[in-house]
Amino acid sequence: MSRVGRNIHVSVDRLRQLANREGRPRRITADAGTCPKCDSHYSADEMRRNLRVCPACGHHFPVTARERMEQLGEPGGYVELWPELRASDPLQFTDLKPYTERIVDAEKSTGMGEAIVCAELQVRHQPAVAAVMDFSFMGGSMGAVVGEKFARACDHAAQKGLPLIVVAASGGARMQEGTLALMQMAKTVIALDALAEARVPVVVVLAHPTTGGVWASFASLGDVTYAEPGALIAFSGPRVIEETTREVLPEDFGRAEAQLRNGQVDAVVDRRELAERIGRVLHILARPPGTAGSTAAPALQWAQGGAQRVGGAVQALPTLPRKMMDRMRPGSTDGEDSGETPA
Ligand SMILES: [Zn+2]
């Protein structure tokens, strides 16, 4: 559907507009206790006990990274890794205010040093390394420190043979760090290789919103990928795409439920069941102690063994399965008679 003539706003103009608009409603933060969907109101204590999920309608409120660690981990907590890392400002970037000022403000308002917290913890008695993003720190944007902490978490998990749990919530790359922020996409993707080599699993949880360079890099590379209900998971938000393409998108575009239908996530999991679900998966994939980096988990060995047995059985059978295998080969077209020997 064409909507020619509609105004298109770009980032800084849009920011100025929003900053100057009077009486606009305050953004819902992790502390706000009123549900934006059904208007139910909860005390701070109720919110914490309900894991910041509205019991009336199931709306998932944002969670800070440290509270997420407490939700996932055992009582007794978690050991935070590299909390001392802070962003520098190599580009001396200024938009509406200097980048250094933005970092100081974010640190004051969130009590966090950066948009990601890494820690060692136990999820339902399964030891793991977790890298959890926090949208309240500059929109969970990925700069050099987020990339560095994520890469260290991967190395740490690989060295210790512990699974990695990633909780993503991000607007994408941090524009104040320019190309350096974009380079973190490559850095984080390469860091995940260490885990593939060490044969330890990566469980990714996509919280609202997971967009931009974070979705286009490590957040989409989990061995198991869960999403929270209603989370926006897309490279660009629907508004930006609608304004650029002048097409009307489906109402649930990019939402967790739509991404499940698209095969981008393995399951949409309610936050109140998340720790249990992750714990169970880690238990299935866990290896006996002392075998870190040497052999695959028993479940994986069993699956690989099964695949080999099926392959062997198929090869042992005459013509028909060979035709099937030829058809499955890359480059062969489905429906054509590809069973014949090429000339
Ligand atoms: Zn509600």
pLDDT of residue 310: 67
Distances in whole angstroms, Cα of residue 31 to Cα of each of 61, 79, 302: 9, 24, 46
Q: How far is the centre of ligand 1, averaged over its atoms, from the C-alpha of 74 (Å)?
A: 27
Q: Is 127 exposed, middle or buried (0-12, 13-18, 19+ CB in 10 A)?
A: middle
Sign of CA dihedral 152, 158, 162, 168: positive
Q: List Cβ neighbours of 140 (8 Å cut-off, separation of 6 or more).
A: 115, 133, 134, 168, 169, 170, 171, 214
Q: How far is the centre of ligand 1, averaged over its atoms, from the C-alpha of 319 (Å)?
A: 60
pLDDT of residue 30: 45
Q: How far is the centre of ligand 1, averaged over its atoms, from the C-alpha of 210 (Å)?
A: 22
Q: How far is the centre of ligand 1, averaged over its atoms, from the C-alpha of 108 (Å)?
A: 30
Q: How far is the centre of ligand 1, averaged over its atoms, from the C-alpha of 70 (Å)?
A: 23
pTM of the model: 0.77
Structure tokens belonging to residue 62 = 């944002």
Pick the closest to residue 115 from 83, 89, 91, 74 (CA basis).
83
Q: How far is the centre of ligand 1, averaged over its atoms, from the C-alpha of 123 (Å)?
A: 27
Average pLDDT, rounded, for the chain: 85
Tell me the per-residue pLDDT of 79-114, one tens digit each, with 9 for 90 and over: 999 999 999 999 999 999 999 999 999 999 999 999
Pick the closest to residue 46 from 62, 28, 34, 64 (CA basis).
34
pLDDT of residue 320: 54
pLDDT of residue 299: 67
Structure tokens belonging to residue 160 = 């210790």
pLDDT of residue 314: 55
Q: How far is the centre of ligand 1, averaged over its atoms, from the C-alpha of 60 (Å)?
A: 8
Pick the closest to residue 121 from 82, 85, 81 (CA basis).
81
Domains of the chain: residue spans and CATH: 28-61 (no CATH), 63-285 (3.90.226.10)
pLDDT of residue 336: 45
Q: How far is the centre of ligand 1, averaged over its atoms, from the C-alpha of 64 (Å)?
A: 19
Q: How far is the centre of ligand 1, averaged over its atoms, from the C-alpha of 270 (Å)?
A: 14
Which helix (H) or strand (E) covers residue 185, if one does? helix 178-198
What is d(CA 341, CA 343) in angstroms, rounded to the nearest whole number?
A: 6
Q: How far is the centre of ligand 1, averaged over its atoms, from the C-alpha of 11 (Å)?
A: 31
Residues, CB within 5 angstroms of ligand 1 (ion):
35, 37-38, 40, 54, 56-57, 59
Q: How far is the centre of ligand 1, averaged over its atoms, from the C-alpha of 250 (Å)?
A: 23
CA atoms within 13 A on the CB side of 41: 0
Residue ranges in the chain modelled with pLDDT below 50? 1-5, 7-10, 13, 15-16, 18-31, 335-343
pLDDT of residue 136: 97
Q: How far is the centre of ligand 1, averaged over its atoms, from the C-alpha of 135 (Å)?
A: 21
Q: What is the largest CA-CA distance in the chain?
A: 76
Q: How far is the centre of ligand 1, averaged over its atoms, from the C-alpha of 267 (Å)?
A: 22
Evaluate whether 132 touches 68 at the Cβ level (below 8 Å): yes
Q: How far is the centre of ligand 1, averaged over its atoms, from the C-alpha of 47 (Å)?
A: 11
Q: How far is the centre of ligand 1, averaged over its atoms, from the C-alpha of 130 (Å)?
A: 29
- Regarding beta strands 79-81 and 116-123, do their DSSP bridges make them parallel or antiparallel, or are they unpaired? antiparallel
Q: How far is the centre of ligand 1, averaged over its atoms, from the C-alpha of 241 (Å)?
A: 28
Q: How far is the centre of ligand 1, averaged over its atoms, from the C-alpha of 81 (Å)?
A: 35
Which helix (H) or strand (E) covers residue 196, if one does? helix 178-198
Q: Is 12 exposed, middle or buried (0-12, 13-18, 19+ CB in 10 A)?
A: exposed
What is d(CA 232, CA 21) in angstroms, rounded to the nearest whole number?
A: 26
Q: How far is the centre of ligand 1, averaged over its atoms, from the C-alpha of 2 (Å)?
A: 35
pLDDT of residue 58: 97
Q: How far is the centre of ligand 1, averaged over its atoms, from the C-alpha of 38 (Å)?
A: 4
pLDDT of residue 77: 85
**Number of CB atoms found within 10 A of residue 27's CB:** 8
Q: How far is the centre of ligand 1, averaged over its atoms, from the C-alpha of 53 (Å)?
A: 8
pLDDT of residue 32: 73
Distances in whole angstroms, Cα of residue 217 to Cα of each of 146, 165, 234, 247: 13, 15, 12, 26
pLDDT of residue 338: 42
Q: How far is the centre of ligand 1, averaged over its atoms, from the C-alpha of 171 (Å)?
A: 24
